[in-house]
Amino acid sequence: EVQLLESGGGLVQSGGSLRLSCAASGFTFTSYAMSWVRQAPGKGLEWISTISGSGGGTYYADSVKGRFSISRDNSKDTLSLQMNSLRAEDTAIYYCAKVRVLTAVRGGYFDYWGQGTLVIVSA
Amino acid sequence: DIQMTQSPSSLSASVGDRVTIACRASQSISPYLNWYQQKPGKAPKLLIYTASTLQGGVPSRFSGNGSGTDFTLTISSLQPEDFATYYCQQSYSTPLYTFGPGTKLEIK
């Protein structure tokens, strides 16, 4: 059974940093890209970052580029998101998701999601 | 960047109704369109990928259709557990993704 368990959320001051983790189990972690998706209170879903299975490719939404860094430890089946220079608008539930990709350049979809971890950035 | 819109933003319907939710992309993305269901306080759940392929375990009352820039999610006969918010997502620009703003399906 695929399981994704996020941790590391909490309350942080504006300008501060936080590191989120996602522990994966139930699948061959290194074979799949992984993503982070966030959801601000009462708002919709926002994709923020994806990392390839090897970790060699990383991709970011413009809203977090230069402030957030995605990484993975394939020896520990763990995905991470380092968040720096946090702003009030980064307040959200952060979900990690397993990505299946149909081709090398098209057709990814998020087939499993964690339950999320809440990040609150105080002004 | 590819932008996604959904209509309606909210919808009231009754158990047993047939409902359709629309999703439009700012450019052709066919067939790289996915649908997710999210219930309050829960993580999103994949329903359909590549416009019309049902994810395993998803009831057959859900179906997806469309091509080019215009796509639909149809629920043929609403069940009580279907009241939720639905999001479309483009994966044409994988590994960069965009979600639609969501459609909240409420009980009439």
For B15-31, the pLDDT digits (tens) are 999 999 999 999 999 99
The SS3 of residue A89 is helix
Minimum CA–CA partner of A34 in chain B = B95
B contact set with A (CB within 8 A): 1, 32, 34, 36, 38, 42-46, 49-50, 55, 87, 89, 91-92, 94-102
- What pLDDT is attached to residue B44? 98
Rg (CA), chain A: 14
Beta partners for residue A3, in sequence order: A25
CB-nearest partner of B32 from A45, A57, A107 = A107
Residue B24 near residue B4, CB atoms below 8 Å: yes
Distance from the Cα of B37 to chain A's closest Cα (Å) equals 11
- What pLDDT is attached to residue B52? 98
Distance, in Å, from the CA atom of B54 to the CA atom of B58, rounded to the nearest integer, reads 6
Residue B73 near residue B86, CB atoms below 8 Å: yes
CB contact under 8 A, A101 and B98: no
Distance, in Å, from the CA atom of B105 to the CA atom of B10, rounded to the nearest integer, reads 6
pLDDT digits (tens, 9 = 90+) for B73-87: 999 999 999 999 999
User: Low-confidence residues of chain A, pLDDT below 70?
Assistant: none
- What pLDDT is attached to residue A47? 98
Model confidence at B90: pLDDT above 80: yes
Model confidence at B9: pLDDT above 90: yes
Q: Which has the closest alpha carbon to A23: A119, A111, A115, A91?
A: A115
CB contact under 8 A, B99 and A57: no
- What pLDDT is attached to residue A104? 72
Q: What is the mean pLDDT of residues B49-75?
A: 98
Long-range residue pairs from A45-53, CB within 8 A, at least 24 positions apart, any chain: A45/B36, A45/B38, A45/B44, A45/B87, A45/B89, A45/B99, A45/B102, A46/A92, A46/B99, A47/B89, A47/B96, A47/B97, A47/B98, A47/B99, A49/A81, A50/A99, A50/A108, A50/B95, A50/B96, A50/B97, A51/A79, A52/B95, A53/A29
Which chain A residues are within 8 Å of B99, Cβ to Cβ?
37, 44-47
- What pLDDT is attached to residue A37? 98
Which chain B residues are within 8 Å of A105, Cβ to Cβ?
94
